[in-house]
Amino acid sequence: MEGRRSRNQSRNLSSSSSSSSTSYPRNYPSNVTRHQSNAHSRSNAARVPFNNNKQEDAADADPQSFSDFHPLLGTCPYMCPERERIHRENLRDLALFERLHGNPVKSSPSLAVKKFCRTISTKYVQATDVRPLNVLEDTLNYLMSLLESKEHPFEVVHDFIFDRTRSIRQDLTMQNIVNKKAIYMYEQMVKFHVISHHKLRRSMSDPNIASIHHLNLEQLTKTLASLFNLYEANRNSNYAHENEAEFCSLHVLLHLDSCSKPTVNLYIIG
């Protein structure tokens, strides 16, 4: 009898403890929940950390994941580090958009764009391999200019921009760049994924396109979550970013019904 009473008390205590705290989806906009965790968010607001010791997908790093990191200061003056470009020329690993006059083994600084590296550690990254903010801005503008290309099928264009924008996010994260210019860049990358979502769904009958569509939606969600973290990092009592409401609306549309397909096709970005 005593044992049963003890177990019931433990169960009630556990139930009371779990009901006293509220959990939110990991990718829920931070500004929506900031009233519940204001002290914690402000103490970490300026951090978009990158782990020095453990290999991580830095482009998708959660800004609250790590507490100790040493951001790099990139010095690469090109869209792609020279040693990577030469290495990929030797491997014949050049995308269609990177080939000089169509040559599969020759590129140039004006064509080659740094590839995304899934696992990376700052232990092995040199400053000459990381692009500073101004170069990242130019690189993103170049990639966005390819979006309307009619020379190749959209899925080919998308594949190139998809990979290279992840590399941009990776370089931003490694350097802990969290200013308003970074916000604008993330907004542009979210728009790329929204446009891609709309265009790719026209060919969903093709299994390959359906897979690309799924991966694009996955990165849209991750990039949007990172954008909300940047909004929070730049927030003060008298300021909200001019486009924040627009992108919060997009988040709502993506999660109107978690049991059905996202309704992002209803969303139009000007």
pLDDT class for 69, splitting at 50, 70, 90? low
- Name, in order, each residue with C-beta under 8 angstroms of 264's C-beta and a sequence gap of 6 or more: 194, 197, 198, 217, 220, 250, 253, 254
Kindly tell me if the per-residue pLDDT of 97 is higher than 50: yes
**What tokens were used for 4?**
């049963």
pLDDT digits (tens, 9 = 90+) for 163-200: 999 999 999 999 999 999 999 999 999 999 999 998 99
- As a whole number of angstroms, the distance between CA 144 and CA 138 comes to 10
Q: Is the pTM of this model over 0.75?
A: no
Kindly tell me if the per-residue pLDDT of 145 is higher than 90: yes
**What tokens were used for 131?**
């692009």
**HSE-up of residue 169 (Cα within 13 Å, Cβ side):** 30
pLDDT class for 40, splitting at 50, 70, 90? very low
H/E element, 252: helix 244-254
pLDDT class for 23, splitting at 50, 70, 90? very low
| Listed range (21-25, 72-76, 176-180) with the worst mean pLDDT | 21-25
Q: Is the dihedral of CA 89, 82, 163, 106 positive or negative?
A: negative
